[in-house]
Homo-oligomer: A and B are copies of this chain.
Amino acid sequence: MTSGVTAPRGFRAAGVAAGLKSGGGRDVALVVNDGPESAAAGVFTRNRVKAAPVRWSEQVLRGGSVRAVVLNSGGANACTGPAGFQDTHATAEHTATQLAVFGAGEVGAGEVAVCSTGLIGQRLPLGRLVAGVTEAAAQLATTGAAAAAEAIMTTDTCPKQVAVAVSGDQSRLVEPAISAGPADFTVGGMAKGAGMLAPDLATMLCVLTTDALADPAELTAALRAAVEVSFERLDSDGCLSTNDTVLLLASGASGVRPAPAQLTSAVTTACQDLVRQLLADAEGATKQIGITVSQAASEAEAVTVARAVARSNLVKTAVFGNDPNWGRILAAVGTTDAAFDPDALDVAVNGVWVCRAGAAAAERSTVDLGGPEVSIEIALHAGAAAATVWTNDLTHGYVHENSAYSS
Protein backbone atom coordinates (compact mmCIF):
# COMPACT_ATOMS: atom_id res chain seq x y z
CA MET A 1 0.00 0.00 0.00
CA THR A 2 1.32 3.49 -0.78
CA SER A 3 0.49 6.56 1.19
CA GLY A 4 -1.96 9.34 0.34
CA VAL A 5 -5.57 9.86 -0.64
CA THR A 6 -5.73 6.73 -2.84
CA ALA A 7 -4.51 4.41 -0.08
CA PRO A 8 -8.09 3.51 0.91
CA ARG A 9 -10.18 1.53 -1.58
CA GLY A 10 -12.67 3.46 -3.70
CA PHE A 11 -10.60 6.53 -4.53
CA ARG A 12 -8.83 7.86 -7.60
CA ALA A 13 -6.74 10.99 -7.86
CA ALA A 14 -4.68 13.04 -10.30
CA GLY A 15 -2.48 16.13 -10.36
CA VAL A 16 -1.57 18.11 -13.48
CA ALA A 17 0.20 21.31 -14.53
CA ALA A 18 -2.34 23.81 -15.84
CA GLY A 19 -0.20 26.95 -15.90
CA LEU A 20 -1.65 28.56 -12.75
CA LYS A 21 1.68 28.56 -10.92
CA SER A 22 4.44 30.65 -12.43
CA GLY A 23 6.98 27.87 -11.96
CA GLY A 24 5.16 25.51 -14.32
CA GLY A 25 4.68 22.68 -11.80
CA ARG A 26 1.53 20.70 -11.09
CA ASP A 27 -1.21 23.02 -9.83
CA VAL A 28 -4.57 21.30 -10.30
CA ALA A 29 -5.56 18.20 -8.30
CA LEU A 30 -8.61 15.98 -8.35
CA VAL A 31 -9.68 13.47 -5.72
CA VAL A 32 -12.68 11.30 -6.66
CA ASN A 33 -14.69 9.03 -4.41
CA ASP A 34 -15.92 6.10 -6.51
CA GLY A 35 -18.05 4.78 -3.67
CA PRO A 36 -20.15 2.87 -3.14
CA GLU A 37 -20.84 5.54 -0.48
CA SER A 38 -20.05 9.27 -0.63
CA ALA A 39 -20.50 10.47 2.96
CA ALA A 40 -18.28 13.39 3.93
CA ALA A 41 -17.42 15.89 6.63
CA GLY A 42 -15.46 19.15 6.62
CA VAL A 43 -14.06 21.85 8.86
CA PHE A 44 -13.22 25.31 7.56
CA THR A 45 -11.36 28.46 8.57
CA ARG A 46 -12.93 30.57 11.29
CA ASN A 47 -11.77 33.71 9.50
CA ARG A 48 -14.80 35.86 8.65
CA VAL A 49 -13.10 36.83 5.40
CA LYS A 50 -13.68 33.49 3.64
CA ALA A 51 -12.46 32.63 0.16
CA ALA A 52 -15.04 31.77 -2.51
CA PRO A 53 -14.13 28.04 -2.50
CA VAL A 54 -14.66 27.92 1.28
CA ARG A 55 -18.11 29.49 0.95
CA TRP A 56 -18.90 27.01 -1.82
CA SER A 57 -17.58 23.94 -0.04
CA GLU A 58 -19.39 24.82 3.20
CA GLN A 59 -22.63 24.63 1.17
CA VAL A 60 -21.58 21.33 -0.41
CA LEU A 61 -20.77 19.77 2.94
CA ARG A 62 -24.18 20.73 4.31
CA GLY A 63 -25.53 18.08 1.93
CA GLY A 64 -23.32 15.45 3.61
CA SER A 65 -22.21 13.92 0.28
CA VAL A 66 -18.99 14.66 -1.61
CA ARG A 67 -18.16 12.80 -4.82
CA ALA A 68 -15.04 14.77 -5.71
CA VAL A 69 -12.70 17.51 -4.53
CA VAL A 70 -11.00 19.79 -7.03
CA LEU A 71 -8.03 21.71 -5.69
CA ASN A 72 -5.71 24.30 -7.17
CA SER A 73 -2.58 26.11 -6.14
CA GLY A 74 -1.50 29.34 -7.85
CA GLY A 75 -4.36 31.46 -6.52
CA ALA A 76 -6.56 31.54 -3.39
CA ASN A 77 -9.67 32.99 -5.05
CA ALA A 78 -10.18 34.97 -1.84
CA CYS A 79 -11.42 38.59 -1.76
CA THR A 80 -12.54 38.27 -5.36
CA GLY A 81 -16.18 39.31 -4.93
CA PRO A 82 -19.23 37.73 -6.63
CA ALA A 83 -17.19 37.03 -9.78
CA GLY A 84 -14.81 34.87 -7.76
CA PHE A 85 -17.70 32.84 -6.38
CA GLN A 86 -19.00 32.32 -9.92
CA ASP A 87 -15.55 31.05 -10.89
CA THR A 88 -15.71 28.47 -8.09
CA HIS A 89 -19.22 27.45 -9.13
CA ALA A 90 -18.13 27.09 -12.78
CA THR A 91 -15.17 24.95 -11.69
CA ALA A 92 -17.43 22.61 -9.73
CA GLU A 93 -19.88 22.36 -12.65
CA HIS A 94 -17.10 21.58 -15.10
CA THR A 95 -15.61 19.00 -12.74
CA ALA A 96 -18.97 17.25 -12.40
CA THR A 97 -19.32 17.09 -16.18
CA GLN A 98 -15.83 15.67 -16.66
CA LEU A 99 -16.33 13.05 -13.95
CA ALA A 100 -19.33 11.71 -15.82
CA VAL A 101 -17.14 11.49 -18.93
CA PHE A 102 -14.35 9.67 -17.06
CA GLY A 103 -16.20 6.89 -15.38
CA ALA A 104 -17.61 8.38 -12.17
CA GLY A 105 -21.23 8.24 -13.30
CA GLU A 106 -23.72 11.05 -12.78
CA VAL A 107 -22.28 13.70 -10.43
CA GLY A 108 -23.96 16.95 -9.45
CA ALA A 109 -21.88 20.11 -8.96
CA GLY A 110 -23.39 20.23 -5.46
CA GLU A 111 -21.31 17.15 -4.60
CA VAL A 112 -18.01 18.69 -5.75
CA ALA A 113 -15.97 20.50 -3.07
CA VAL A 114 -13.45 23.13 -4.19
CA CYS A 115 -10.20 24.22 -2.51
CA SER A 116 -7.85 26.97 -3.66
CA THR A 117 -4.53 28.24 -2.33
CA GLY A 118 -2.16 31.01 -3.34
CA LEU A 119 -2.29 34.81 -3.54
CA ILE A 120 -5.36 36.54 -2.11
CA GLY A 121 -7.25 39.17 -4.09
CA GLN A 122 -6.76 38.01 -7.67
CA ARG A 123 -9.21 36.20 -9.94
CA LEU A 124 -8.12 32.76 -11.10
CA PRO A 125 -7.46 32.25 -14.83
CA LEU A 126 -10.65 30.23 -15.29
CA GLY A 127 -9.82 29.00 -18.77
CA ARG A 128 -6.58 27.40 -17.65
CA LEU A 129 -8.15 25.98 -14.50
CA VAL A 130 -11.00 24.37 -16.44
CA ALA A 131 -8.58 22.91 -19.01
CA GLY A 132 -6.53 21.54 -16.11
CA VAL A 133 -9.61 19.88 -14.63
CA THR A 134 -10.33 18.20 -17.97
CA GLU A 135 -6.79 16.89 -18.12
CA ALA A 136 -6.82 15.75 -14.49
CA ALA A 137 -10.11 13.90 -14.97
CA ALA A 138 -8.54 12.01 -17.87
CA GLN A 139 -5.60 11.00 -15.66
CA LEU A 140 -7.59 9.84 -12.62
CA ALA A 141 -6.00 6.70 -11.21
CA THR A 142 -5.81 4.70 -8.01
CA THR A 143 -2.09 5.53 -8.12
CA GLY A 144 -2.63 9.29 -8.50
CA ALA A 145 -2.19 10.36 -4.86
CA ALA A 146 1.41 11.56 -5.18
CA ALA A 147 0.65 13.75 -8.20
CA ALA A 148 -2.34 15.26 -6.39
CA ALA A 149 -0.29 15.96 -3.25
CA GLU A 150 2.33 17.69 -5.36
CA ALA A 151 -0.25 19.82 -7.18
CA ILE A 152 -1.46 21.54 -3.99
CA MET A 153 2.00 22.68 -2.85
CA THR A 154 2.76 26.43 -2.70
CA THR A 155 5.71 27.37 -0.51
CA ASP A 156 5.84 23.75 0.70
CA THR A 157 9.17 22.17 -0.12
CA CYS A 158 7.76 18.63 -0.19
CA PRO A 159 4.37 16.92 -0.50
CA LYS A 160 2.69 15.63 2.67
CA GLN A 161 0.86 12.31 2.58
CA VAL A 162 -0.29 9.75 5.11
CA ALA A 163 -1.98 6.40 5.39
CA VAL A 164 -3.25 4.64 8.50
CA ALA A 165 -4.24 0.97 8.29
CA VAL A 166 -6.60 -0.35 10.95
CA SER A 167 -6.78 -4.05 11.64
CA GLY A 168 -8.72 -5.30 14.65
CA ASP A 169 -7.82 -3.04 17.54
CA GLN A 170 -4.55 -2.05 15.88
CA SER A 171 -4.13 1.12 13.86
CA ARG A 172 -0.72 1.81 12.41
CA LEU A 173 0.89 4.42 10.21
CA VAL A 174 1.81 3.03 6.82
CA GLU A 175 5.16 4.33 5.63
CA PRO A 176 5.22 5.26 1.94
CA ALA A 177 5.91 2.37 -0.43
CA ILE A 178 6.03 -0.21 2.32
CA SER A 179 3.61 -3.03 1.71
CA ALA A 180 1.34 -3.69 4.65
CA GLY A 181 -0.81 -6.57 5.68
CA PRO A 182 -4.56 -6.63 5.12
CA ALA A 183 -6.51 -3.91 6.86
CA ASP A 184 -10.12 -3.76 8.05
CA PHE A 185 -10.20 -0.19 6.83
CA THR A 186 -7.75 2.52 5.91
CA VAL A 187 -7.50 6.30 6.29
CA GLY A 188 -5.39 8.18 3.74
CA GLY A 189 -4.68 11.83 3.30
CA MET A 190 -2.68 14.71 1.91
CA ALA A 191 -2.07 18.25 3.18
CA LYS A 192 -0.21 21.42 2.36
CA GLY A 193 0.62 24.63 4.23
CA ALA A 194 1.64 25.32 7.75
CA GLY A 195 -1.13 25.48 10.28
CA MET A 196 -4.83 25.46 10.97
CA LEU A 197 -6.90 28.09 12.69
CA ALA A 198 -3.71 30.07 12.97
CA PRO A 199 -1.94 29.10 9.81
CA ASP A 200 0.37 30.76 7.45
CA LEU A 201 -1.63 32.54 4.80
CA ALA A 202 -0.20 30.16 2.24
CA THR A 203 -3.22 28.23 3.58
CA MET A 204 -3.69 24.83 5.13
CA LEU A 205 -5.57 22.41 2.88
CA CYS A 206 -6.12 18.78 3.80
CA VAL A 207 -8.10 16.00 2.13
CA LEU A 208 -8.59 12.78 4.09
CA THR A 209 -10.10 9.66 2.61
CA THR A 210 -11.30 6.40 4.10
CA ASP A 211 -12.89 3.19 2.88
CA ALA A 212 -14.72 2.79 6.17
CA LEU A 213 -18.50 2.81 6.24
CA ALA A 214 -19.68 5.86 8.17
CA ASP A 215 -22.45 8.38 7.87
CA PRO A 216 -21.82 12.14 7.70
CA ALA A 217 -22.56 12.64 11.41
CA GLU A 218 -20.06 9.96 12.42
CA LEU A 219 -17.46 11.40 10.04
CA THR A 220 -18.06 14.90 11.40
CA ALA A 221 -17.64 13.74 14.99
CA ALA A 222 -14.42 11.88 14.15
CA LEU A 223 -13.02 14.77 12.11
CA ARG A 224 -13.77 17.45 14.71
CA ALA A 225 -12.22 15.37 17.48
CA ALA A 226 -9.14 14.69 15.36
CA VAL A 227 -8.72 18.31 14.22
CA GLU A 228 -9.02 19.61 17.77
CA VAL A 229 -5.93 17.70 18.89
CA SER A 230 -3.93 18.06 15.68
CA PHE A 231 -4.33 21.00 13.29
CA GLU A 232 -5.79 23.21 16.02
CA ARG A 233 -2.67 22.62 18.11
CA LEU A 234 -0.36 23.82 15.34
CA ASP A 235 0.29 27.55 15.42
CA SER A 236 2.97 28.47 12.98
CA ASP A 237 2.73 32.26 12.86
CA GLY A 238 -0.56 33.19 14.50
CA CYS A 239 -2.13 34.23 11.21
CA LEU A 240 -5.58 32.86 10.36
CA SER A 241 -6.08 32.04 6.69
CA THR A 242 -9.04 32.81 4.45
CA ASN A 243 -8.95 29.36 2.81
CA ASP A 244 -8.25 26.67 5.42
CA THR A 245 -10.16 23.49 4.69
CA VAL A 246 -10.01 19.93 6.03
CA LEU A 247 -12.23 17.37 4.30
CA LEU A 248 -12.91 13.72 5.12
CA LEU A 249 -14.46 11.52 2.40
CA ALA A 250 -15.69 7.98 3.03
CA SER A 251 -16.19 5.46 0.21
CA GLY A 252 -17.43 2.57 2.32
CA ALA A 253 -15.52 0.29 -0.06
CA SER A 254 -14.08 -1.80 2.80
CA GLY A 255 -17.55 -2.80 3.88
CA VAL A 256 -16.34 -2.31 7.48
CA ARG A 257 -18.27 -0.03 9.84
CA PRO A 258 -15.80 0.84 12.63
CA ALA A 259 -16.81 1.82 16.13
CA PRO A 260 -16.83 5.61 16.55
CA ALA A 261 -13.77 5.55 18.81
CA GLN A 262 -11.87 3.39 16.31
CA LEU A 263 -12.65 5.77 13.45
CA THR A 264 -11.73 8.81 15.53
CA SER A 265 -8.47 7.19 16.57
CA ALA A 266 -7.45 6.40 12.99
CA VAL A 267 -8.38 9.87 11.69
CA THR A 268 -6.53 11.45 14.61
CA THR A 269 -3.42 9.40 13.89
CA ALA A 270 -3.53 10.52 10.26
CA CYS A 271 -4.04 14.21 11.17
CA GLN A 272 -1.28 14.20 13.78
CA ASP A 273 1.16 12.69 11.31
CA LEU A 274 0.27 15.36 8.74
CA VAL A 275 0.76 18.02 11.44
CA ARG A 276 4.22 16.61 12.08
CA GLN A 277 5.00 16.92 8.37
CA LEU A 278 3.58 20.45 8.11
CA LEU A 279 5.54 21.55 11.15
CA ALA A 280 8.77 20.17 9.74
CA ASP A 281 8.25 22.17 6.53
CA ALA A 282 7.07 25.52 7.98
CA GLU A 283 8.31 28.61 6.18
CA GLY A 284 11.85 29.53 7.12
CA ALA A 285 11.82 27.51 10.33
CA THR A 286 14.95 25.86 11.72
CA LYS A 287 13.40 24.40 14.88
CA GLN A 288 10.17 22.66 15.83
CA ILE A 289 8.90 23.74 19.22
CA GLY A 290 6.50 21.66 21.30
CA ILE A 291 4.95 23.71 24.12
CA THR A 292 3.35 21.53 26.79
CA VAL A 293 1.33 23.16 29.55
CA SER A 294 0.56 20.84 32.46
CA GLN A 295 -1.24 21.10 35.80
CA ALA A 296 -3.77 23.45 34.22
CA ALA A 297 -7.30 23.94 35.55
CA SER A 298 -8.71 22.72 32.22
CA GLU A 299 -7.48 21.51 28.84
CA ALA A 300 -8.85 24.71 27.27
CA GLU A 301 -6.73 26.83 29.62
CA ALA A 302 -3.69 24.67 28.90
CA VAL A 303 -4.21 25.33 25.17
CA THR A 304 -4.70 29.07 25.78
CA VAL A 305 -1.43 29.36 27.70
CA ALA A 306 0.51 27.20 25.23
CA ARG A 307 -0.85 29.21 22.32
CA ALA A 308 0.14 32.52 23.96
CA VAL A 309 3.71 31.23 24.22
CA ALA A 310 3.57 29.86 20.65
CA ARG A 311 2.58 33.31 19.38
CA SER A 312 5.29 35.28 21.19
CA ASN A 313 7.71 36.60 18.60
CA LEU A 314 10.21 37.13 21.40
CA VAL A 315 10.08 33.47 22.48
CA LYS A 316 10.31 32.36 18.85
CA THR A 317 13.32 34.55 18.06
CA ALA A 318 15.01 33.47 21.31
CA VAL A 319 14.69 29.81 20.30
CA PHE A 320 16.11 30.68 16.87
CA GLY A 321 19.07 32.18 18.73
CA ASN A 322 19.52 29.07 20.95
CA ASP A 323 18.60 31.16 24.01
CA PRO A 324 16.56 29.34 26.72
CA ASN A 325 14.94 32.67 27.64
CA TRP A 326 12.38 31.52 30.19
CA GLY A 327 11.66 35.13 31.18
CA ARG A 328 10.06 35.70 27.78
CA ILE A 329 8.08 32.49 28.29
CA LEU A 330 6.76 33.66 31.67
CA ALA A 331 5.91 37.05 30.18
CA ALA A 332 3.80 35.33 27.51
CA VAL A 333 2.10 33.13 30.13
CA GLY A 334 1.28 36.27 32.11
CA THR A 335 -0.76 37.76 29.27
CA THR A 336 -3.44 35.06 29.65
CA ASP A 337 -6.29 34.85 32.13
CA ALA A 338 -5.80 31.15 32.86
CA ALA A 339 -5.79 30.07 36.50
CA PHE A 340 -2.28 30.22 38.00
CA ASP A 341 -0.21 31.99 40.62
CA PRO A 342 2.70 33.81 38.91
CA ASP A 343 4.91 32.89 41.87
CA ALA A 344 4.19 29.17 41.42
CA LEU A 345 5.11 28.74 37.74
CA ASP A 346 7.74 26.19 36.71
CA VAL A 347 9.33 26.17 33.25
CA ALA A 348 11.59 23.57 31.63
CA VAL A 349 13.38 23.97 28.31
CA ASN A 350 14.52 20.71 26.74
CA GLY A 351 14.02 19.01 30.08
CA VAL A 352 16.00 21.46 32.21
CA TRP A 353 13.87 23.24 34.85
CA VAL A 354 15.31 26.71 34.40
CA CYS A 355 12.47 28.31 36.36
CA ARG A 356 10.89 27.11 39.60
CA ALA A 357 8.25 29.03 41.56
CA GLY A 358 8.44 31.95 39.14
CA ALA A 359 12.19 32.52 39.60
CA ALA A 360 15.51 31.24 38.27
CA ALA A 361 16.37 27.60 39.03
CA ALA A 362 18.78 25.48 36.96
CA GLU A 363 21.54 27.36 35.14
CA ARG A 364 20.31 28.37 31.68
CA SER A 365 23.72 27.50 30.25
CA THR A 366 22.97 23.82 30.92
CA VAL A 367 20.18 23.84 28.32
CA ASP A 368 21.20 22.41 24.96
CA LEU A 369 19.21 24.06 22.15
CA GLY A 370 21.46 22.89 19.35
CA GLY A 371 19.03 20.36 17.85
CA PRO A 372 16.01 20.90 15.60
CA GLU A 373 13.49 19.82 18.25
CA VAL A 374 12.76 22.00 21.26
CA SER A 375 10.43 21.18 24.13
CA ILE A 376 9.05 23.84 26.45
CA GLU A 377 7.18 22.61 29.52
CA ILE A 378 5.16 24.92 31.75
CA ALA A 379 3.59 23.68 34.99
CA LEU A 380 0.76 25.97 36.14
CA HIS A 381 0.07 24.22 39.48
CA ALA A 382 -3.62 24.93 39.08
CA GLY A 383 -5.12 21.54 38.19
CA ALA A 384 -4.58 18.27 36.37
CA ALA A 385 -5.19 19.12 32.69
CA ALA A 386 -2.52 19.34 30.00
CA ALA A 387 -2.11 20.13 26.30
CA THR A 388 0.64 20.59 23.74
CA VAL A 389 0.77 23.26 21.01
CA TRP A 390 3.33 23.11 18.21
CA THR A 391 5.11 26.04 16.62
CA ASN A 392 8.39 27.03 14.96
CA ASP A 393 11.13 29.51 15.60
CA LEU A 394 10.94 32.95 13.98
CA THR A 395 13.87 33.27 11.64
CA HIS A 396 15.51 35.32 8.94
CA GLY A 397 14.12 32.75 6.53
CA TYR A 398 10.54 33.54 7.62
CA VAL A 399 11.07 37.26 7.15
CA HIS A 400 12.72 36.64 3.79
CA GLU A 401 10.00 34.35 2.43
CA ASN A 402 7.19 36.61 3.55
CA SER A 403 8.72 39.91 2.53
CA ALA A 404 10.25 38.87 -0.77
CA TYR A 405 7.20 37.10 -2.23
CA SER A 406 3.52 37.92 -2.39
CA SER A 407 1.31 35.17 -1.05
Number of copies: 2
Q: Chain A 67-83 against B: per-residue CB contact (8 Å), 1 yes, 0 no? A: 00000000010111101
B403 contacts A49, C-beta separation under 8 Å: no
A13 to chain B, nearest CB (A): 29
165-219 of chain A: CB within 8 A of chain B: 200-201
What are the interface flags for A391-403 relative to B under an 8 Å C-beta threshold, 1 for contact and 0 otherwise? 0001110111011
Residue A406 at the B interface, CB < 8 A?
yes
Judging by beta carbons under 8 Å apart, are A313 and B239 in contact? Answer: yes
Specify the chain B residue showing the minimal Cβ separation from A357: B81
A333 within 8 A of B: yes
C-beta contact mask, A367-407 vs B, less than 8 Å → 1, else 0? Answer: 00000000000000000000000000011101110111110
**Chain B residue with Cβ nearest A236:** B313
Kindly provide the distance from the CB of A312 to the nearest chain B CB, expressed in whole angstroms: 6
A258 interface residue per 8 A CB criterion = no
- A359 touches which of B80, B328, B357 (Cβ 8 Å): B80
Binding-face segment, A91-99, A103-111, A247-255, A315-323: A315-323
Q: If the complex has contacts A81-B343, A327-B76, A357-B81, are A334 and B403 also in contact, measured as CB distance less than 8 A?
A: no
Interface size, A (range)? 35 or more
Question: Which secondary structure characterizes the binding site on chain A?
Answer: loop
Task: Indicate whether A79 sits within 8 Å of B330 (C-beta atoms), given known contacts A342-B48, A399-B317.
Answer: yes
Which among A84, A327, A406 has the greatest number of chain B C-beta atoms within 10 A? Answer: A327
- Complex Cα distance, B330 from A84, in Å, reads 16
Query: Chain B contacts of A201 at CB under 8 A?
Result: 314, 327-328, 331
The answer to whether A238 has its CB under 8 Å from any CB of chain B is yes
In-complex Cβ contact of A360 among B121, B326, B342 (8 A): B121
**Is B360 within 8 A of A79, CB to CB?**
yes
In contact, A238 and B330 (Cβ under 8 angstroms): no
Q: Is A241 an interface residue (CB 8 A)?
A: yes
Q: Which residues of B contact A49 (CB under 8 A)?
A: 330-331, 333-334, 342, 345, 358
Give complex CA distance A395, B311 in Å. 17
Contacts of A318 in B (CB 8 A): 402-403, 406
Q: Are the CB atoms of A242 and B404 closer together than 8 Å?
A: no
Inter-subunit contact B327/A120 (CB<8 Å) = yes
- Taken together as a complex, chains A and B put the C-alpha atoms of A311 and B337 apart, in Å, by 20
Cβ-defined contact, B330 with A399, below 8 A:
no
Shortest A257–chain B CB gap in Å is 39
A276 in the interface (beta carbon within 8 A): no
Q: How far is the CB of A313 from chain B (nearest CB, A)?
A: 5
Q: Does A47 lie within 8 Å of B334, measured CB to CB?
A: yes
Interface residues of A (CB under 8 A from B): 46-50, 76, 78-81, 83-84, 119-123, 200-201, 237-242, 311-314, 317-318, 320-321, 323, 325-328, 330-337, 342-343, 345, 355, 357-360, 394-396, 398-400, 402-406
8 residue pairs from A and B, CB less than 8 Å apart: A49-B331, A49-B334, A120-B325, A120-B327, A237-B314, A314-B402, A320-B399, A398-B399
Besides the known contacts A46-B335, A240-B331, A320-B403, 7 further A-B residue pairs in the complex with CB atoms under 8 A apart: A47-B334, A201-B331, A238-B313, A313-B402, A318-B406, A394-B399, A395-B403
**10 nearest CB pairs, A to B:** A120-B327, A321-B403, A49-B334, A81-B359, A317-B402, A121-B327, A47-B334, A48-B334, A320-B403, A317-B403
